[in-house]
Amino acid sequence: MAASARLSRLSAITAGLGAGLLFSVELLFARLLLPHLGGSAAVWTTCLFFFQALLLGGYGLGHLAQRLRPRDQVGATLILVGLGALLLPPSIPAAWSPDPSYLLPGVLALLTERIGLPFLALASMTPLLLGWLASRAERPERLLAASNAGSLLGLLAYPLLLEPALGLWRQGQLWSFGYVAWGLLVLASGLAALRAGDEQAAAEPGSAAGGRFREWALLAALPSALLYGVTTAITTFLPPLPLLWVLPLALYLAGFVLAFRDPRRDRAKLRALLAVLVPLLIVGWLLRGALARWPAGLLGLLALHLLGFGALALALHQELARRAPSAPDATRFNLAIGVGGLLGGALCALAAPLLLRDASDYPLLLALGLLTLPPRGEALRSGRARLLGLSLLVPLLAVALDPASALGALPLLAIGGALALALARQRAWSRARLALALGLVVALGLARLGPPDVAATRSLHGVHRVVESEGFRHYLLGGVVHGRQRLDAPDEPLAYFARSAPLGQALASWSERNPQGRVSVVGLGVGGLLPYARSGQRWRFYELDPTVERFARAHFRYLERSPAAVDVVLGDGRRGLQSAARAGAEPCDLLVLDAFNGDAVPVHLLTEEACALCLTRLSRDGLLLANVSTRFLRLAPLLARHARRFGLVGVLRRERFTPQERAAARREGRAPSTCVALSRDPAALAPLRARGWEPLPPPAARTWTDQRASVLDLAGLVTLEGK
């Protein structure tokens, strides 16, 4: 009895620490990848998919290990833990550079090589511990709750404690010490299991029916898929920093903990709340572009996303907990959760970008999640009412795949209406869910009424669209306009680059004084800066996403009409500048940073190291222009700190419109913007000062570096004015 109690305590501690290490290394390695891959939510979702795949692999190993004798289980586990220790600390080779055309395979290969074994060892331990406890007929809920509590603590500790206090190298060292301590706990747990009387051959794992396994996996897949959707949704308009990655995942795990703590508790109030939250959330998703323009709208949208996702994930996890098996099937149940998590991740990370041209998978999953929840006392498989409710998702999916024309959407709405005729024959809860599904069909259909997109696709970095309205062609990535062109005047610079805009003023002034100059631009967009180019100049663009270049060449004319020599280098701009420096290329006379996507700023382009690199690529009297036209972040103080650090002079100009000017600016294709100009040579800024450019604001209190860039620093950089 004493040995069993000791094993139970050691198992809980080992599982909690291992889970904390698992989830903190996800954030650490994703943070290491940011300087290589740019500021995209895809960095985190790709890492999340990889870690879910490895988590399933670990669960599978742990499940299969139940067939070994206890002594062999302990020995094999210690060997795996030791092999993982050989790869410590977590790091990325300095020379690593992924091929932009094969970005996803390159990232997955790197993750496998650099962190695969330690992660696999950590992931395999929970099912092994479950198996050791199962031989004493203990239920798995307590150990699963301890594991998820450790995961939650690891997630919150990283952005709130580790990231603000330690650089990446120190974080890696601390994580390595934690891994070694966990390895010692694994050894102690294994010895305790052997002393508890497990020397006899291990019992065969339980063999739950295939239908139950599928049921577990599907219930686990839905919240996992929603996790991807909500993470992409909230980081479309905000910087891709670990705290914003953590919030949805923390809610996901908190739901797991609460659900398994009291799986039989009736949550009728939660379901009533979901009946209101989910439709509101879908409406907010449809109106996200308009809402995100205002501080209150953006904060409300963020809160709605997190509240709706957290409540729905909790309800789905409770359905999963209610179906948790007895002890002999504990490892199989754990394996089903891993399979479901990977299926949900594959659906959003791999299938959705190939099948859908926009982010419609998110509202589809919200609807499916609510429709899956049975009413009180109803089994998961409910028969005709549930089948009919789920069938409404078929036309909804078809609307998402449809070429967004009115004629294409109307028949789909008719199908939804025909299916809804069965409402009168269903019970109240079923009627509510059917009404919700019908409303989604109508909402998504109406959202697509109107002129079709010129082009639309979806890549690892987001949803790309080209639309025409009021005589302009616009290019949108996510919810942000990345460029536009006037159909009747294709050589006229627009938006942030209009002749009256700060960046337009600076480019016109510089181009007039440097007819043979060399220009480097980080961020292509549609090539909207090229109207300022002159014959004899050489322009080079660095673009992270190949889809952006393809759209710029196929649907806009700035590149083909430019009189200057222009080339486009695919890959992260910072990596491109480093490659040019290593190759001994001539420095440029003008360097433009124009890679920001709304408020989702690429953090790795705003660190001290990035600024130092930019200066190595500039001639002695060269000019650095940064387009910092974000809505709610004030980045000029951060650049002012870099200017003080490197002895630069700088000026700033903002263009804002009064309510009376906004309508005229929209008709002319102009947009409010902010530009910062930096140089070593005060004479390079004289023409801008003459045009009324202002001195830089006071420097930020804290700087960003490659080793330390915390989202908590944004507190002093946020403005509630918007654009």
Identify the CATH number of the domain in which residue 532 sits.
3.40.50.150
Q: CA 183 → CA 13, 143, 304, 570, distances in Å? A: 12, 18, 41, 43
d(CA 394, CA 413): 11
Place of tokens 């799986």: 263
The mean pLDDT of 201-216, rounded to a whole number, is 60
Question: For residue range 308-362, what is the model confidence (pLDDT) as tens digits?
Answer: 899 999 988 888 888 877 656 666 787 888 888 888 888 777 777 666 666 677 8
Same domain for 366 and 392, yes or no, is no
Query: Is there a domain that residue 452 lies in?
Result: no
Same domain for 390 and 280, yes or no, is no
Average pLDDT, the chain: 78
Same domain for 147 and 9, yes or no, is yes
Same domain for 548 and 690, yes or no, is yes
d(CA 630, CA 12): 46
Which of the listed ranges 279-283, 399-403, 669-673 does the model predict with the highest average pLDDT? 669-673
Last residue of a domain, one of 447, 466, 500: 447
Q: In which band, very low, low, confident or very high, does the pLDDT at 238 lie, cut at 50, 70 and 90?
A: low
Range of the domain at 200: 2-372
Same domain for 25 and 103, yes or no, is yes
Same domain for 422 and 312, yes or no, is no
Lowest mean pLDDT among 421-430, 543-552, 633-642: 421-430
The mean pLDDT of 457-475, rounded to a whole number, is 83
Same domain for 556 and 443, yes or no, is no
Which of the listed ranges 125-129, 141-145, 180-184 does the model predict with the highest average pLDDT? 180-184
Query: Is there a domain that residue 320 lies in?
Result: yes
387 burial (CB, 10 Å; 0-12 / 13-18 / 19+) is exposed
Last residue of a domain, one of 427, 447, 467: 447
Q: Each residue of 608-643: b (16+ CB within 10 Å) or e?
A: bebbebbbebbbeebbbbbbbbbbbbbbbebbbbbb
Query: Is there a domain that residue 11 lies in?
Result: yes
Same domain for 441 and 566, yes or no, is no
Partners of 277 in beta bridges: none
Question: Number of structural domains, the chain?
Answer: 3
Please give the angle made by the CA atoms of 13, 18 and 20, to the nearest 5 degrees. 100
Same domain for 519 and 547, yes or no, is yes
578 neighbors 571 (Cβ within 8 angstroms)? no
What token pair was written down for 445?
Answer: 């259909």
Same domain for 162 and 128, yes or no, is yes
Q: Residues 6 or more apart from 119 whose CB is under 8 A from it?
A: 22, 25, 51, 54, 55, 58, 84
Query: Is there a domain that residue 413 lies in?
Result: yes
Same domain for 434 and 335, yes or no, is no
The mean pLDDT of 556-585, rounded to a whole number, is 90
Query: Is there a domain that residue 377 lies in?
Result: no
- Whole-prediction pTM: 0.74
Place of tokens 């789905």: 316
Q: Summarize the chain as % helix, strand, coil (round to 5).
A: 60, 10, 25
Last residue of a domain, one of 447, 478, 501: 447
